[in-house]
Structure 1
Amino acid sequence: MKPEILAPAGNLEKLKAAINFGADAVYLGGSKLNLRAFANNFTNEQLKEGIDFAHSRDKKVYVTLNVIPHNDDLQGLEDYLREVYELGADAIIVSDPGIIMTAREVVPNLEIHLSTQSNNVNYKSAIFWHKQGVKRIVLARELSLEEIKEIREKLPDTCELEAFVHGSMCMSYSGRCLLSNYMTGRDANRGQCAQPCRYKYFLVEEKRDGEYFPVIEDDKGTYIMNSKDLCMIEHVPELMETGIMSFKIEGRMKSSYYVASVCKSYREAVDAYIEDPVNYKFQQKWMDNLLKPSHRQYYTGFYFGDPNKQIYESSSYIRDYDIVGVVREYNEETNIASIEQRNKVFQGDTVEVLRPVGDNVIIVLNDMRNSKGESIASAPNAQMLFTVNIMEKLHENDILIKCKEEK
């Protein structure tokens, strides 16, 4: 069985990047009832465009309706479910039994996936949800590989399993957290998490107002609730042995560059294993691509039964590389590449090309010109189009990245 690579799509650009760089399916938020209230969620028109783009390439789109809804959130639910179905979504991702029940009544032919927010950690619960019409269980992140194997063995073949393999982790139980609501009034379970677990904390004694004591003995505070990022790229064979049929990547709020890099690495790793499991060998270039976009320190989560490594001393992202442009066109006769800017880049800069297929290559940006053909020293304006003279053949949707500090 070849597992699906399932990628986040925070907007249309990210959806297209995910699919161009190897995703089999994407998940995204529509206009209602999803847990990323501050992402650039899709309007119905954008959703239709994204679904058409994916389906034209034999890929799938899953729409998240994974909030824990209050009564007010249910207003218009039936109409919205019909809209999602009529737009051609391949499945909805749901955590609430009321929404599941309504979906079965209103759009009985729309596939239902159980969100990780439902905290499914055992086979009995999975069987229960499957009997309610759920086709796929998105497992809680607090499971080991051995537990997942046992769940798979005790489920009917008609019930699929999906699990996160990469991305941010939550200090709470698969996302069920009230800390944001308590501290900021923004409900994480209704899509508005302020991530207070990433804040810097000190200890204060009630009668010593103004005296702040670090929980660890340094002057930077402590991050007692902060989680590392999950990364299982070095353990694809172990994941394959569990029977998981969808490898899920976290990050609807992350950049197109992040999405492209992660999809490319997991696509290549999974394909290499499928092609020759016996002689499969991990390639360092896969990890190299994952270390360049913004991320926190990596670890393997709960998969190997060692959750104590989850907390660490910093909430800072590691940001060694930035995306500086996306190739829109390349003329092989003139060697002129048209680039759409993403971050400021200069004439003569050395950049790396991340492409959907093949190894990365290093190029130098020569003869930089604006849309009027005038020579320019830099491309400072967001999404401006500029050209460069490059002997290396580039392709549409290639991504140009640059090390933030030359080494």
Structure 2
Amino acid sequence: MHGQFLNLCTAIAVTSLMATSVRAQNENTEIVSENTTELQVKAMIAKLASSSFAERQQATKDLNNVGPESVALLEMTALASTGETQLRLSMILPQLRKRLFDDQLQTFLEQPSIEFAQRLPQWERFEKLSGHDKKALEIFGEIMAAEPRLFASRLFASRDLPALLERRTAELAKACNGLQGEEFPIASVSAVMLLASESNTRLIRATSTNISVVFDEPRFSELITVGVHAKTLRGLAEAWIIRTGSTAGIAAERPLLFSMKHDLKSGRLVALRIVKSKSSRPDMILSLLCLAKLKSTEDLLLIESLLENDTILWPERGQGVKVRIVGEPPIGTNYKVQTRDVALVAAAYLRDIELEEIGHKARTSNVTLFAHDSLGFDTDEARVAAFAAYRNLAGN
């Protein structure tokens, strides 16, 4: 039997826990490598019900040394099994979780170091965003300690993470209420941004909206600007914005506004996704203004390609714009903001052409450069004149 087991499992020598992600229970225990196949694990599970006491003991030892990728299979088997198999798995699983995550996290929190951080999920991604100096290690510990259940799910059963993320982000969204007197859950917010910004993390239902709600929170804006964790928070915010820029279906308005407010270059990816989609929604206005605000001159040709696009972006269908005159009832107008109007303003800004030079009277805005409801024209004559003036000044 022992020879058959060796055909199923590859025994390897290791020099450190990080090199193999496993640990021998004693000097005589076989070490099961992290890349143990599902078939090998199933064979070990089958031996838990063996009539041979020695085989049951050996299988128990081997299963206690599998890597985190095998935990989900063991959990599913435990739910479906009975008798000796279920009993032994119910004892093995808590020990595995403790060894692979709880103990590693506790060790890191007690002795923050790159060596111990490497044993925890998401460290590699966090390090790329924030570095690995003393402050970065401290912040990583705070993030891990704030949401251990989420990170354990990412390590052991990533299929469960989407539902957990949705529930947790809904709770955090409620905490983004702008009340300065309440403690802001910055570590938890950072944790969900880190996990959700990973491209292979599935985002269900309202998860993305829940996360982007934090961009409305004045306390987050303050922390990303002047807080001691500003560098890390900026990196996490950019990572989330990049995810929104690369994933269709995620609402773009909040990431775009936040990018413009804090000069985050990642906003360009979101803007390009919307512009290239030929959106007929108001997010097209923000996208073009974002490219202008970020001085994205490399996208000037793309912006100018929209100068013939007459899609109406504002006001929304069925609505109109009225002018108020003192002593008179509001008067309806033909005022419209078309895609080409916004493209005109954005292109002029990138070419350093003053709007007055083309006869445009858009109102300025600290965040979006110009107010969205002032980018259009009342008449086709005024529009034609402005476009002609632009082409003359731009030399095309």
The TM-score, its normalising length taken from structure 2, stands at 0.26
Rg (Cα) greater in structure: 2
Structure 1 length as normaliser, TM-score? 0.25
Larger helix percent: 2
